[in-house]
Chain A
Amino acid sequence: MAFLEVKDIYKSFGKTEVLKGVSFELEEGQVLSIIGSSGNGKTTLLRCLNYLEFADSGTVTLDGNVVSDGKILKTLKESQIRENRLHFGLVFQSFNLFPQYTALQNVNLALSLMEKERAKKGMPPLYDKPSMEVAKELLIKVGLEDKMGLYPCQLSGGQCQRVAIARAMALKPKVLCFDEPTSALDPELTGEVLRVIKELKESEGITMIIVTHEMGFAKSVSDQVLFMVDGVVEELGSPEQVFDNPKSEKLQAFLQGLSVKEGK
């Protein structure tokens, strides 16, 4: 049994069916990239995994435990959803940093609240050191040791996104999701963010799902690549299979379109 098993996820908004039975599996420490053009349900899929949307049906199994089941999702209590959602982290396209807090406070806030709550409930702490120490170490890891005291409005887009990555890492999610982490950035800033994500894979071995339009990055960082069209998995395979030997015509057309755009 795979570490993460996503099975037959369906999701509609009113009459619009956005996800029409999405399934994939991922081993621990592996990276899955999701590619495809806009409006095909990539964001919705990540939002379902993070309980920002409730899937209409389908199951998500993590480490052998069913963490999400479309049939009972809507009946779950707020507290149960909170507990399940902690298995996943999400890095947003638009960072969504808290503007009134410094980089360090952004990383520390949720972690410190969580540690307090765990102590109150008699649960072991997530870390054996103060949350502030953890936050500092995480910011050092993403290369921001000299920016800890700055507010989001004083940081560049790339630096904001690196803070957001550190913030998501702080709660030790088992699966970290990225929704087009570099799409809101100026081209010269995408490199630093992609480098950080790559380093996380190598040094932390964290399981990741990355929606991205950076094909070179997807090819080099991924263990699997998923091509999504109109709410279904059109093609799924190793980066070599997907990029060098695409079977589906839609994927061939998609890759063709990209290389034309990039002027190759």
Chain B
Amino acid sequence: MGEFVDVSLRLLEGFSSSVIIFVFTLIFAIPLGLLIAFCSMSKFAPLRIVSRTIVWVLRGTPLMLQIFVIFYLPGLLKLFVWPAMNTGWAWFDKTISTRLIAALVAFSINYAAYFSEIFRGGIEGVPKGQMEAGEVLGMTKTQIFFKVILMQVIKRIIPPMSNEIITLIKDTSLANVISVLELIFWAQTFMLEGLIWPIFYAGAFYLIFVGALTIFFNWVEKKLSYYKV
């Protein structure tokens, strides 16, 4: 029983790191993704090309690789000084907070790239006639975006966004590769001590979280089912 409590506490601690990555990635990646989406749709060709190239690279390489690059490269290049540190190269100095920050940066830009494509698809998928109907009714571009287009975009992107968000909670386990103390990290620690069952226990954490997300997104979809786009 003491063992169970001990494992539970450790896994909960790990899971809280996973949830921190999950929450902050969403907070950063959604606005950043929106920004990238608008850049990718820009009429100004250089901006559009740069933006789409970045998206291509971020979606075309493994997230694990990006986590490594962001964690080790600044240190190796001696580029950044973590403001909190007076000596040494911050990201090279393997304190926990810098690991978590590196993971957050990697997750945020990686997920921003995926979100941006979902947003772009959602915006471009709204029929041109909706914009035109607003225009001939004398609405301004801003009014049309917020009063007409936005709700249709939201409805369109909810299914692909819920897929990505469900993937995100499972992807947080990748932070393990730079030794962020997340859920899998702790499960693994117990495994190395010869305890097998905590890894299944860890799985249950993800399952319950994903289950809750699924119920939430189904509820949102149902809320929006009064109209069709």
Contact = CB atoms under 8 A, between A and B. Distances in A.
Interface of A: 50-52, 78, 82, 85-86, 88-90, 92, 94, 96-101, 109-110, 113-114, 151-153, 167-168, 171
A94 B227 CA distance: 17
Given A96-B127, A151-B227, A86 B138 contact: yes
A98 B133 contact: yes
B136 A85 contact: yes
B17 interface: no
A139 to B, nearest CB: 16
B137 A110 contact: yes
A125 to B, nearest CB: 14
B221 interface: no
B138 A92 contact: no
A99 B137 contact: no
A114 B155 CA distance: 27
Contacts of B136: 50, 52, 85, 88-90, 168
A28 B135 CA distance: 24
B229 interface: yes
A171 B133 contact: no
B44 interface: no
Nearest to B155: A100
Interface in B75-132: 127, 129-130, 132
A27 to B, nearest CB: 23
B71 to A, nearest CB: 44
B4 interface: no
Contacts of A78: 140-141
B129 A99 contact: no
Given A92-B129, A151-B227, A98 B148 contact: yes
A171 B138 contact: yes
5 shortest interchain CB distances as A-B pairs: A110-B137, A96-B133, A96-B129, A153-B228, A90-B136
Contacts of A171: 137-138
Contacts of B139: 109-110, 113
Contacts of A94: 129
A110 B227 contact: no
Chain B interface helix/strand/loop/mixed: helix
B226 interface: yes
Contact of A153 (B140, B152, B227): B227
B135 A52 contact: yes
Nearest to B129: A96
Contact of A151 (B133, B134, B141, B226): B226
B49 interface: no
Interface in B170-229: 226-229
Contacts of B155: 100
A94 to B, nearest CB: 6
A38 to B, nearest CB: 18
Contacts of B50: none
B8 interface: no
Contact of B134 (A99, A110, A152): A110
Interface centre among A51, A88, A94, A110 (most CB of B within 10 A): A110
B27 to A, nearest CB: 27
Contacts of B228: 99, 152-153
B163 interface: no
B151 interface: yes
A64 to B, nearest CB: 22
Nearest to B150: A100
Contacts of B132: 52, 92, 96
A181 to B, nearest CB: 14
A78 B138 CA distance: 11
A88 B151 CA distance: 27
14 contacts: A50-B136, A82-B140, A85-B135, A89-B136, A92-B132, A92-B133, A96-B127, A99-B152, A99-B229, A113-B139, A113-B147, A151-B227, A152-B227, A168-B137
Nearest to A52: B132
Given A152-B227, A153-B227, A96 B130 contact: yes
Contacts of A168: 136-137
A113 B226 CA distance: 24
A185 B140 CA distance: 30
Among A78, A97, A100, max chain B CB count under 10 A is at A100
Contacts of A114: 138
Contacts of B137: 109-110, 167-168, 171
Given A98-B148, A100-B227, A110 B127 contact: no
Nearest to A101: B227
B16 interface: no
